[in-house]
Amino acid sequence: MIAGIDHFVLTVRSVEATCAFYQRVLGMRRLDEANRPTALLFGPQKINLHEVGRTFEPKAK
């Protein structure tokens, strides 16, 4: 049985527009940290946002 999910990744057209939507509609909190993808937090889970056409390192293996 799955107890929880740490995070998942969404590839989006615009990080800014995506953050604005999820914050406004679902009340998520934005997290910006150096050398990390922008994330949206909800409870202990998060959504990492990757913008189309931009790469982020390191990638999961």
Which residue matches tokens 């409870």? 43
Residue 9 is predicted with a pLDDT of 93
Residue 27 lies in a domain: yes
For residue 47, the model assigns a pLDDT of 96
Within a domain: 28:
yes
Is the bond into 44 cis (omega within 30 degrees of 0)?
no
Question: Model confidence at 58, in pLDDT bands (50, 70, 90)?
Answer: low
Long-range contacts of 5-8 (CB under 8 A, 24+ apart): 5/45, 6/45, 6/46, 7/39, 7/45, 7/46, 7/47, 7/48, 8/47, 8/48
pLDDT > 70? residue 24: yes
| Residue 25, pLDDT above cutoff 80 | yes
Q: What is the CATH number of the domain that holds 38?
A: 3.10.180.10
pTM of the model: 0.81
Confidence (pLDDT) at 57: 64
Q: Examine the pLDDT at 35 and tell me if it is beyond 90.
A: no
